[in-house]
Amino acid sequence: MKYKIGIASSDGKVVNLHFGRADVFYIVEADSGNMTFRYGESRQTVPVCQGQQHDDHKLYELADRLKDCDYVLVSHIGEGARAALAKNGTLVFELPGFIEDSVKRLLSYVEVENCMKLTNPL
Buried b or exposed e, range 40-63, using 16+ CB within 10 angstroms: eeebebebbbeeeebeeeebbebb
Q: Would you identify the CATH topology of the domain 2-119? A: Nucleotidyltransferase; domain 5 (3.30.420)
pLDDT for 116 beyond 90: no
Q: Check if the beta carbon of residue 16 is closer than 8 Å to that of residue 9.
A: yes
Residue-range domain boundaries for the chain: 2-119
Q: Check if the beta carbon of residue 54 is closer than 8 Å to that of residue 80.
A: yes
**Res. 115 pLDDT band, cuts 50 70 90:** confident
**Side-chain half-sphere CA neighbours of 58 within 13 A:** 14
Give the model confidence (pLDDT) of 74-106 as tens digits: 999 999 899 999 999 999 999 999 999 999 999
> What integer is the mean pLDDT of 116-122?
68
Give the model confidence (pLDDT) of 26-62 as tens digits: 999 999 989 999 999 999 998 888 766 677 888 999 9
